[in-house]
Structure 1
Amino acid sequence: MKNNWHTYIKNFQSYLKIERGLSKNSIDNYVLDIEKLVNYLSDNTIDVSPIKIDDETIQQFIYEISKSVNPRSQARTISGLKSFFNYLIFEDYRPDNPLELIETPRLGRKLPDTLNIEDIDRLIAVINLSTNEGERNRAMLETLYACGLRVSELVSLKISDLFFDEGFIKITGKGNKQRFVPISEHTQRYIEIYKNFNRNSLPIQKGHEDTLFLNRRGRQLTRAMIFTIIKNLALEIGLNKIISPHTFRHSFATHLLENGADLRSIQLMLGHESITTTEIYMHVDRKHLSQVMQTFHPRSK
């Protein structure tokens, strides 16, 4: 039965990559959603193809997963499956979407965790700079925070993406969309120290000559490795928060907003498609809104 789905999933992957220009991580997440359904069908000996599956079967599947996953994960799975069946309609494999009438669970917006500047300074200060990895880790964390990058953007950053004379770095974000992000001289200095001294002592592997941040074997770092580095630093300073590379991105946006940056500029630097995604950071400091009103509205004078 799984083979019945395999071809359609394979074609969907090609569509997401070629037509939609999605990254490998995004495509993998879509496939994961579909495989949850395939496994459910297999476990319950329901032999039905993606062309013939009906809304009742899907409804039962959603009901089953709702027992074991939180509403956010449930909503993600429903969204992923909707995209898959919309693709099948687009390719004329089936006339309708069996998830059309299935409601996504209501979600409260999850407010992102942030670090204050003191926490960020403490995390960076505890890095052991007597090692090659130490200089690399300092440069990476400074770049994450100073430029508000996603972890995938950090690990894929190239030396040819550094335009230090102009004060920018070129980032390739979701859907291979490119943007230029300003980078301070402070952060440039840490990257230069790592690049010119520590990186040069590595056995750089073929195909990784232009990759900026390398592991000790001279290859591109994995996303998981960045998570581990940050988690270990947090443990070392006794930080009582669960943090990830994304925490630095949230902190970047939050601190810009608190210091008076406008939302549109933050949106451009983060590479958000829609400003509503950026608006999630507005929770952080309502005082900021009052200050804007007091400063700029004629009736406040």
Structure 2
Amino acid sequence: MNLNRRALAFCESLVDQAAELRVGISRAGGSRIIDLGIEARGGLEAGRRMAEIALAGYGEVSFVPHTLTGGPGVMVRTDAPLEACMASQYAGWEVKGTKYFAMGSGPMRAVAAREELFEHLGYREVAGHVVGLLETDKLPPAEVCHDIAQKCGVADQGVTLLVAPTHSQAGTVQVVARSVETAMHKLHELGFDLSRVESGWGIAPLPPVAADTLAGIGRTNDAILYGGHVVLYVRGDQASIDAVGPKTPSSASSDHGRPFKEIFAAYDHDFYKIDKQLFSPAVVELVNLDTGITRRYGEFARYVLESSFAG
């Protein structure tokens, strides 16, 4: 398994169809920038492909009806949840530059391996070309691309970055496609051995595209926190599953029940001050492939979604 090599192949397919997908291709200091919603228009399909690249091509993303809202939902499934969701999709890299900030995700993280998380995953990659995603409303300058290249040990020309703001069609889709990833990360925070997770399936409602970044962050988080449903297929002893299960959904947090925009403001718009117990889907099912026992935890909160999505 090589996350960056596979993601790069998906990028080439996207570039080949850039015009019909309404994405822009440019260079910054030699690095390739794929714009899916900042200066380019992007769209739903661009967002779906961006989400699959975030998973390094080891998961499938599709649009389906969401029964809770009656509108579209974003469904994701993967048989490599540890690698696809945690070593690639998780937005664990704070990308910074002069007056520049973005949340970084994608398989480039597995090459840089700058996060403590990789010590627990036991996964690291060497690659000549890395692929990353930046959640941002500004195109990255050359200095930022160069910094990423250095931290990954590649030439500037060996970096491909996909960029989109949260308040764009593509950006909204790729964030909402993180339902399985949030459940996996929650289990990690609870000390559960992620190597026991064989497969993951998730769905969350696709909110209306917001007018600005803060509203976009609020709606996309609410989609997962209050409307997300994830099923994880695990192995091993049932007692350990029963021990973490009730703590897994977002309702385990005391902040649960308010729109994320309100919660975010209450913590000075600092993700790292918010209770970590909040970041998980509304409903999580844990299916034990060894015992055949299924446990379901959490609850949906339609009233929060209606308030959030209405504006």
- TM-score norm. by structure 1 comes to 0.20
Higher helix share: 1
- TM-score norm. by structure 2 comes to 0.20
Higher strand share: 2
